[in-house]
A = this chain, B = another copy of it.
Amino acid sequence: MPELRQDPACGEWIVISTERGLRPELFRSGEKPGLRARHCPACPFCEGNESETLPEVWALRSGTPPNGPGWRLRVVPNKFAALVPRGDFRRHSELNFFRKAEGVGYHEVIIETPRHDLDLGTMPEADVEAVVRAYRARHAELRLDPRVEAVIIFRNHGKSAGTSVDHAHSQLIATPVVPNLVRERYEAAVSYYDDTGRVLLADILEKELEMGSRVVDENDAFAAFQPFAPRQPFETWIVPRSMAPSFASITDAQCRSLAKILRRTLYRLYTGLNDPDYNLVIHTASLRDENQPYYAWHLQVLPHITTPAGFEIGSGMYISTMLPEQTAAYMRKIEVAEAPS
C-alpha cells in the first residue's frame, strides 16, 4: 500500500510508492565513476586555464597574482550570469498589471579545487572546509549590497542536475527579490513559531534523533538524516545542532564540522550509488529576516534518481519509490574512508 507523508518544513505531501519491491542498491547509476586525469586541457576551471573565466572576485592564494596558476580555490562571475551587478534595481509594470524589474544581482561560480579529478566527496577534508568558508565569505560580502534581498548557494553535480562543466564547482546567486520558496519556507517556520513558540527545524531534528531510523551521520555540531517525506530516494538534510536563521552566522568550528559531515555524506552517495547526479542547496533566511528568531539555515542534498514529471509540476507532490528508513539504513552501512590529506 502506498503511503502519503507530509514534509513538516513546507507542508508538501509526497507519495511513497514502494510496490515494486526495490532495494536501495538498485538505485546505483549504471557505471562506476571512472578515474579522471588530474588536469584537463579543455576545462575552463582547471589550473592554467584561468583566462577562460572572467577575472576572479575572490581566491585562496599563497602570494600568487590573481588570474594565473597557484591557487586553491577561485570565485569568478558566471560567464552566463542570470543576474548582473549593474545599475539600480527598479520595479516596473506593464499595463499596470504585470510586474517586472531589472535583473540586478550576482551570479558567481566557486571553483572548488584546481584539480580536475577531485570532487567534494573525495577531496581532502581541509579543501571541503575551504569551500564552506568561501561560501561564508561570499555571503558576507554580497549581503553588503543594499540591492540584495536573498543569497542562494547551490551545487549542480552531473548532467541531469544541470551541470555544464564537470570540474568541481558550486554557484551562488544573489537576488533583488525574496524568492517564492524562500518566503514559503520562512512563513511555515513563522507559523510554527506562532503556534508553539519553538523553531520548526529544531523540533524536526529532535524527532529525527529520537526515532534514529533515518539518521545517517552525526558529529559534534551537525546531524545528517534523510527526511520523513523525501522528494527523491536518498534526499539528505544536514542540520546544525545550534540553530540560527542565517548561514552568515556559521562559526569557524561549525565550518570544520560541516565540512566533515558533508564530505562523509557525499562520499556515501558517491560510493553507494556510483556517483549519482544531485543538487545541493543551502536554505537560509532572506537578509531582512535574519534577525528574527523563526528560521534555521540548513543544507539539502537532492539526488536525481527519478524524473519529476507532469504530476509533480501540476501538484507540487513528489512520488518517491523507497522509504527513507530503508535508504538511510543503506547509507549508514557504507564505510567512509578516511579523508585523503
Partner-B contacts on A (CB < 8 A): 1-6, 8, 10-13, 15-17, 19-20, 80-84, 86-87, 94-95, 97-103, 150, 152-156, 159-163, 171, 173, 175-177, 179-182, 184, 203, 207, 210-211, 228-229, 279-283, 302, 306-311, 313-317, 319
Residues of B within 8 A of A210 (CB): 95
Pick the contact of A1: B8, B87, B229, B279 (CB < 8 A).
B87
A82 to B98 Cα, complex, angstroms: 38
Question: Which of A181, A203, A314 counts the most chain B CB atoms within 10 A?
Answer: A314
Contact B99 A6 (CB under 8 A): yes
A2 to B87 Cα, complex, angstroms: 12
Residues of B within 8 A of A184 (CB): 316
In the complex, how many angstroms separate the beta carbon of A35 from the nearest chain B beta carbon? 26
Contact B3 A94 (CB under 8 A): no
Q: Which chain B residue shows the least CB distance to A11? A: B180
In the complex, how many angstroms separate the beta carbon of A95 from the nearest chain B beta carbon? 5
A100 to B211 Cα, complex, angstroms: 15
Residues of B within 8 A of A319 (CB): 82
In the complex, how many angstroms separate the beta carbon of A49 from the nearest chain B beta carbon? 21
Q: Which chain B residue shows the least CB distance to A302? A: B313
Pick the contact of A310: B160, B281, B306 (CB < 8 A).
B281
Contacts A3-B103, A4-B102, A16-B103 known; 19 new A-B pairs at CB < 8 A: A1-B86, A2-B82, A3-B100, A5-B99, A6-B98, A6-B99, A10-B180, A20-B80, A152-B310, A152-B311, A152-B314, A154-B313, A154-B314, A156-B310, A161-B309, A175-B315, A181-B317, A279-B314, A281-B314
A313 to B302 Cα, complex, angstroms: 9
Contact B180 A82 (CB under 8 A): no
Contact A100 B6 (CB under 8 A): yes
A83 to B302 Cα, complex, angstroms: 23
Contact B155 A81 (CB under 8 A): no
Contact A315 B87 (CB under 8 A): no
Contact B173 A311 (CB under 8 A): yes
Known A-B contacts A2-B82, A103-B2; A94 and B228 likewise in contact (beta carbons under 8 Å): yes
A173 to B313 Cα, complex, angstroms: 13
Pick the contact of A309: B8, B97, B156, B282 (CB < 8 A).
B156
In the complex, how many angstroms separate the beta carbon of A257 from the nearest chain B beta carbon? 22
In the complex, how many angstroms separate the beta carbon of A229 from the nearest chain B beta carbon? 8
A282 to B156 Cα, complex, angstroms: 30
Q: Which chain B residue shows the least CB distance to A321? A: B80
Contact A317 B175 (CB under 8 A): yes
Contact A171 B97 (CB under 8 A): no
Contact A281 B313 (CB under 8 A): yes
A150 to B97 Cα, complex, angstroms: 30
Contact sample, A vs B, 12 pairs, CB 8 Å cutoff? A2-B81, A2-B84, A6-B100, A8-B97, A13-B180, A152-B310, A152-B315, A162-B307, A173-B315, A181-B315, A181-B317, A184-B316
